[in-house]
Amino acid sequence: MRVSAIAITFNPFTSPATPKFTQTQNHSSFPSTAIAPLKLENQELSWNHLTHCNSDQLAKNWVEYQGINNWEGLLDPLDDILRNEILRYGRFVEAAYRAFDFDASSPTFGSCKFSKNSLLTRTCIRETGYKPTKNLRATCGIQLPDWVDRGPSWVSTRSSWIGYVAMCQEKEEIDRLGRRDVAIAFRGTATCLEWLENLRATLTDVGSRGGGAMVESGFLSLYTSGNATCPSLQQMVREEIGRVLEMYGDEPLSLTITGHSLGAALAILAAYDINTTFNNALPVTVISFGGPRVGNQSFRSQLEQSGTKILRIVNSDDLITKVPGFVIDNNDTVVNAAGVPSWVQRRVEDAQLGYADVGQELRLSSRECPHLSKGGVAACHELSTYLELVSGFVSSNCPFRATDRRVLC
């Protein structure tokens, strides 16, 4: 039996009011608690390495790597092509962090530091074959006193750049992938009001299909809220996917949504919304890193029925993946409180805190990597930690790849 207590999805070591920054050579400043440059064996991971490994096999079997069979036989041991695909999408999330203006003293705090056309190249992702087509913003829906709007930007910024849509445009990359791919990448929590939304851990009706599907209140608020100057993230995503389908709907097409932490939760909500709105017009895959729980059992059932494929990359030492809410014997029907006092079950149900994990899980562990095992609680949640663990993972029997520096099996 597994019982996980409610918690909030924020980094306890960094105050949103005073974000910490580190400067890395040849990179823009970004908070060390959110993202660090991905380095393997002291060399930054090459995009070319990720895109030139068994490309023929990827093109022929791309639906398998997008999860049509729930990645059966590909996770343990971890298939090398799938590994490279996970890392490739992780780099898109890394770009979302690097492009975000974290400087609370800057007049452009909360925006993207680079133009849409230069976003990938300026964040050192470079030749991806993808072109950003849409900037995305999320808006806090919490009703706050008027004085908040007169406060400093780190308090008053209601709408912030949260990520982007990028489309595979180069023929060589389309041929390598076997289809035209559209990627949506979301960063994790960065602003004060996003932290406050994360505190709203009770479940609320997701709407649309109904059927008892409920999701975390704060995540849904960030996805559906808008204001007079900024449409909701939901509206922006729907408009861009509609445009993509109108232009490219008659050719092989896939949508891959990826994100870290809060971004992982938004990725799942976006996938659900797209499949609900466009009725399975294209295969939708989510690759999430260090994501919290999002919804209840009914929400998970509706995701599965819609054909949404979700691969959750989980570090077993990362507390964020264990919140919010409670999961008690996470089975396929209802919250099972066998062995738990009845009053606990009633409180969980009454407070609407019964969550369910979704999709297929690739479980990793910082403790299995010698140079990551002493990083502390905060380091376990960093995107760079996740990408390094994915790079080194072999199988459950060999949890980290043997190299001249790391020998575990």
Per-residue 3-state assignment (H helix, E strand, C coil) for 226-239: CCCCCCCHHHHHHH
Most distant pair of Cα atoms in the chain: their distance: 60
CA of 161: how far to CAs of 97, 103, 191, in Å? 10, 13, 10
Do residues 330 and 257 lie in contact, with contact meaning Cβ atoms separated by under 8 Å? no
The active-site residue, picked from 28, 32, 160, 261, is 261
Check if CATH label 3.50.30.30 holds for domain 39-365: no
Count of alpha carbons within 13 angstroms of residue 182, beta-carbon side: 24
Q: Quick one: CA dihedral 394, 400, 404, 407, positive or negative? A: negative
Do residues 226 and 141 lie in contact, with contact meaning Cβ atoms separated by under 8 Å? no
**261 a catalytic residue:** yes
**52 a catalytic residue:** no
**111 a catalytic residue:** no
CA dihedral 172, 131, 260, 71 (to 10 degrees): -30
Q: Quick one: CA dihedral 344, 142, 287, 53, positive or negative? A: negative
**pLDDT digit string (tens) for 186-242?**
999 998 889 889 888 889 999 766 578 999 999 999 999 999 899 999 999 999 999
The active-site residue, picked from 28, 260, 381, 391, is 381
Q: What is the pLDDT of residue 11?
A: 37
> What does the pLDDT profile of the chain (409 residues) look like in tens digits?
444 443 333 333 233 333 333 333 333 333 333 434 344 333 344 545 555 555 689 999 999 999 999 999 999 999 999 999 999 999 999 999 999 999 988 889 999 999 999 999 999 777 899 999 999 999 999 877 665 666 666 566 789 999 999 999 999 999 999 999 999 999 999 988 898 898 888 899 997 665 789 999 999 999 999 998 999 999 999 999 999 999 998 999 999 999 999 999 999 999 999 999 998 789 999 999 999 999 999 999 999 999 999 999 999 999 999 988 777 544 443 444 445 566 555 655 655 668 999 999 999 999 888 777 777 888 999 999 999 999 999 998 887 775 533 333 3
The active-site residue, picked from 298, 318, 384, 391, is 318
Q: Which residues pair with 205 in a beta bridge?
A: 214
